[in-house]
Amino acid sequence: MSTYNLDDSFSSSSKEIESIEFLQDDLEEIRGSNYSNISEIYIFIHGIRSSSSSFDGCREVVQSHLIDAGINKKVELVVVRYERISAFRALFCKNFSKAENFVSCQITNIIEKYTNEKLKVNIIAHSFGSRIFSRICGDLNTHFEKIIFLGSVSRDSLSVSVEKSCNIFLNICGARDYIVLLAYILRGNFYSYNGYFGFRTGTIIDAFYEANHGMLIDKEFFRLHIIPIILKDSIIKSNGRKRIKETSVINIRRFLIILVFAALPLILIMFLLWE
């Protein structure tokens, strides 16, 4: 393993009410703090299937390390929540403005609670959360210190506004994150494989780890790889690597599309000939 410094690199109404109540609990924690003393905040955005409780566990791990480092009174950790989205909706629905607006309002409200003009705002988004944030990033009117994507399904076209709105854009990929690949194969016009292959541009930092989709929000993964970023602005690089060529995934998707369209006439003929 090696270390390098980031600076050296360039739903339903009831569910909404439940989410709002959770958010209010988070904000109550913040209200107990002296806003002017807070110098940095980390906002966590979960994916469609991971739920906010996954990030709650990670937040506890990070919080304990902040206490050990003696900076827990200067750094705040907040989990943003939105309605649970089914896999069916994620594959077939085109409009997620409800979740996007909900997350946008929460982030805006959270940032407005602080009075420190030099406040550093950071985002950690997992899976579908990265797509939601990419969609709303340009409208938040905030310059972020670090934006960290975990298992991202956000497309290249959406990453442009994200790059412009932060000092550091880190994209963490799992070498065994086949969920990202599956999302691209099934709906490549909506999702990308950037959480597996990386964005592959000079301005975005792609870091690869031997992890699957769920492991990226595991407490142990946060302890080993995310906490060093928060405490020291450093990435612990592992030996996780791309296992198949990028073109292979593209060809698989093309093959499936051709297969589907080729099968439709056969299905229609069989239907018409059925007695």
Q: Is the pLDDT of residue 153 over 50?
A: yes
Helices marked H in 70-151: 87-92, 97-112, 128-136
Q: What H or E segment, with its residue span, contains residue 255?
A: helix 246-273
Q: What proportion of the chain, given as a percentage, has pLDDT over 90?
A: 27
What is the pLDDT confidence band of residue 236, given thresholds at 50, 70 and 90?
low
Number of other residues whose CB lies within 10 A of the CB of residue 93: 11
- State the CATH architecture for 2-243: 3-Layer(aba) Sandwich (3.40)
What does the pLDDT read at residue 258? Answer: 62
Mean pLDDT to the nearest integer, 184-199: 87
Q: What is the pTM of this model?
A: 0.78
What does the pLDDT read at residue 189? Answer: 85
